[in-house]
Amino acid sequence: MVVCYGMTASPSIPLAMPAVLKNVDLLGSTMGSTAELQAATDFAAKHKLKPSVSVVLEGLENAERGFELIEKGRESGKIVVRVGTRSGSESNESRMYARWTYLAYAI
C-alpha cells in the first residue's frame, strides 16, 4: 500500500500505473482549498510557527531508518525524509506546496 498525505509538491500527481497494475492500494484524501492552504502558510510565516522536528533524513534511501525510529516510539517530533533539493528558481506556489509536503510509504 502507498499512502500519501498532506499537500503534494503540486496540485496534481501523475497516476502510478505500474503500482495500480500490481493491485497496490493507493489511498488519498483532501481537505481545504488552495486559498486556505495559502492562508495557513501565510499565518505560519507571519507568526514564525515551526514544526517540532526530531530527525531529518536525507533522501529516500534513508526512509527505512525513519520507519525504524517510528517503530521505537522515542521521537516526540516529526521524522522528515527530505527528497530532492531546493533551487533558486522555485515559484511561490511551488514553495507553498513544498512547505506542507509529507509523504509516507507503507507496504
**Please, what are the averages of pLDDT over each run of 10 residues along the chain (107 residues)?**
52 65 68 78 88 88 90 86 65 49 38
Strands 2-6 and 101-105: antiparallel
pLDDT of residue 46: 93
What Rg, from alpha-carbon coordinates, does the chain have? Answer: 15
pLDDT at 107: 31
Tell me, what's the pLDDT at 52?
Answer: 86
Amino acid symbol at 17: M
Burial 3-24 (b: 16+ CB within 10 A, else e): ebeebbeeeeeeeeeeeeeeee
